[in-house]
Amino acid sequence: MSIMGGDPMNQPLAKIFSLFSVAFLFAVAPVDAQDTRYGGILTLANRSDPPAGFDSMRTSSIALHHVGGAIFGAGNLVMRCRENSYDVCPYLATHWTANREYTEWIFAIRTDVYWHDGVQFTAEDVKFWFDLVFFGAEANGNIRAPAYFATELGDIDTVQLLEHNRVKLTFKQRNPYLAEILANPRFKIAHPKHLMEPLIRNGNVSVSPLDVGLVGIGPFSVSSYRKGSLIRLERNDRYFEVDGQARRLPYLDGIDYVIMPDPFAMDIAFRTGRLDGGARGQGHYLSAERIEGYVRDLGNDVYFAEMDGGNFRLAFNVLREGPWQDSRVRRAIALWIDKPAAVSSALGGYGWTTPELGPAHLPVLRYFINWPKIDREPLAYRRERARALIAEAGYANGFTMDHLVRGLNPVTGEFLKAQLAGLGVDLNLRVVDEGEWNRARVSLDYDSQQGSLTPSPIPEGTISVYGRYSKNPDAYAKHEDAKVDELYFALRNAASIEQRIRLWREIEEYLFHEMTYIIPIAEAIYVVPYRSYVKGLAVPIEDAHTHTDFATVWLEEKT
């Protein structure tokens, strides 16, 4: 789901959240704990080599985060709970406090966490990470930009070390939902201070986790990495998490991630017994047609993890000259698209759109969802209005607009091209590989782009993808609209759930309707196959970046 929140009765986390019991936090397996067993190697497909040197500050790509959870951990100072991914659990912090104004947050850091090279993880690592996130770095005339998600965490003032292994974050404005935002699994701490700081000081400000040997703090450490072939992980015997019976996690001896860019090669490898689980990511999630083949060949030997995946949308670059700078043109395109047709044509038969609020079998929380209620008139009526608007803007004879398309999944672009042809918009598909995609999606080189939106389960955590481009390079639409900042400022300062819902309605109305910087089209359901002997998998309700540490997974004896 693009935007979700926790229980509507929940206000911001209480002033203090303590580590009450490991059983509450980590007893996750969907079978009796006595049935779990240690050992074995889990073999998974991965969509591609992780980009950006495995640096989570530079990319949200699932090609990194499917592997990164096991190497760098399931969360940050906090994590999305495995029992319910809408709740927040402690992870690297044992507890945290906030002042009355929610401008000061203090986190107490665990003392039993170690980097894979044996060096203890401390509050100094946390301060180093936050400093890189918020301020970047500068040395010898070289500049490292802040993390792409920096504004999502709030307008920082200072990051301070306190005694007793604690860190204090002071913000310039009220920030009541920091813990929920920080639980985003994309915000992995993958930057060991003792390895990176000396290199940065000497001028290598762009140092990445790959440059320092992929030393993490997660349940598995890197044994070997052969680019384009295999990422092999082995059990981290000093990992700090335990299960409900106080037994150390993880259960597995290791994980092999096989680099498989071709989803059909993944299907063959899985169906012939060479994989225990599929890759996560666009193009690799299963369609209805592909699932039929799995079931036909494997029957009860396969099961499918379903997650609400994200919003298929079209986003405009209004900072690039062209007809799309006119809001009437953007509104006409939004009215013209047949959204229900996208589910079968672009999403492989798994998804939902206007006027639904999601499938019954996925218990997504719905009270923040509003976009399906926009443009609900009959298609013929909407298309008549679209023709009138585009003529009024002076483009009755049509125009050409280029569109950035990820080569892993060109079907969505082909759907949009076919749809907009009837309006006279010639969508020039610029299908690119992963390297160009990761560069181009944060550039101003294209008129429009697409993709899926799964940034945060709460609306406050979406500014990095909806906000102004100059402050949010990862933003889908490229705009410099100061009113969006004002709306998000008001949202962060909302004092009740009713105010948050009202303000989020205003933001969606402004972004999707009044200005139409973004056109939400349909919500995808992501389907990933696993062998029936793969047990203990924590499947999030939404956002496939979540629970990719596989610490609770164990392998039943194969029959």
Place of tokens 């298309």: 383
What does the DSSP 8-state code read for residue 145?
P
Q: Rounded to two decimals, what is the model's pTM?
A: 0.88
List the beta strands (DSSP E) in 267-323: 302-316
| 166-169: Cβ within 8 A, 24+ apart | 166/106, 166/107, 166/108, 166/109, 166/123, 167/106, 167/107, 167/109, 167/123, 167/126, 167/127, 167/130, 168/104, 168/105, 168/106, 168/107, 169/104, 169/105, 169/106, 169/107, 169/130
Extract the tokens encoding 526: 């992501």
What is the C-alpha to C-alpha distance for residues 204 and 206, in angstroms, rounded to an integer? 6
**What local confidence, expressed as pLDDT, does residue 114 receive?**
98
Q: How many CB atoms lie within 10 A of CB 14?
A: 11
Mean pLDDT of 154-180: 96
What does the DSSP 8-state code read for residue 120?
B
What is the C-alpha to C-alpha distance for residues 412 and 282, in angstroms, rounded to an integer? 10
The residue among 67, 29, 330, 84 whose CA lies nearest residue 222 is 67
The contacts of residue 527 (CB under 8 Å, 6+ apart) are 285, 286, 291, 304, 305, 306, 350
**pLDDT of 288-312, one tens digit each?**
999 999 999 999 999 999 998 888 9
**pLDDT of 189-224, one tens digit each?**
999 999 999 999 999 999 999 999 999 999 999 999
Domain ranges (residues) in the chain: 22-276+533-555, 308-524
Percent of the chain residues topping a pLDDT of 70: 92
What is the C-alpha to C-alpha distance for residues 319 and 322, in angstroms, rounded to an integer? 9
Element (H, E) at 82: none
Question: Cα-flanking dihedrals φ and ψ of residue 61, to 5°?
Answer: -60, 135
Could you tell me the sign of the dihedral formed by the alpha carbons of 143, 147, 148, 153, in that order? Answer: negative
DSSP assignment of 337-390: --HHHHHHHTSTT-EE-TT----TTS----TT--GGGSS-S-HHHHHHHHHHHH
**Confidence grade of residue 145 (pLDDT, cut at 50, 70, 90):** very high
**Domain range 22-276+533-555, its CATH number among 3.40.190.10, 3.40.50.2020, 3.40.50.150, 3.10.20.90:** 3.40.190.10
**Confidence grade of residue 23 (pLDDT, cut at 50, 70, 90):** very low
Which overall architecture, per CATH, does domain 308-524 show?
A: Roll (3.10)
What is the C-alpha to C-alpha distance for residues 190 and 74, in angstroms, rounded to an integer? 11
Strand partners, 437: none
What is the C-alpha to C-alpha distance for residues 37 and 536, in angstroms, rounded to an integer? 10
**Confidence grade of residue 408 (pLDDT, cut at 50, 70, 90):** confident
**pLDDT of 89-105, one tens digit each?**
999 999 999 999 999 99
**pLDDT of 332-376, one tens digit each?**
999 999 999 999 999 999 898 988 878 878 888 777 878 888 899
**pLDDT of 168-178, one tens digit each?**
999 999 999 99
What does the DSSP 8-state code read for residue 128?
H
The residue among 74, 185, 217, 55 whose CA lies nearest residue 132 is 55
As a whole number of Å, the end-to-end CA separation of the chain is 37
List the beta strands (DSSP E) in 254-347: 254-259, 302-316
Q: Is 172 within 8 Å of 155 (Cβ atoms)? A: yes
Lowest mean pLDDT segment, chosen from 27-41, 131-145, 410-424, 426-440: 27-41
In the chain, % helix, strand, coil (3-state, to 5) comes to 30, 25, 45
Cα R_g (the chain), whole angstroms: 23
Lowest mean pLDDT segment, chosen from 261-265, 285-289, 451-455: 451-455
344-364: buried (b, 16+ CB within 10 Å) or exposed (e) per residue? ebbbbebbbbbeeebeeeeeb
**Confidence grade of residue 18 (pLDDT, cut at 50, 70, 90):** very low
Percent of the chain residues topping a pLDDT of 90: 79
Average pLDDT, the chain: 90
Strand duo 302-316 + 254-259: pairing? unpaired
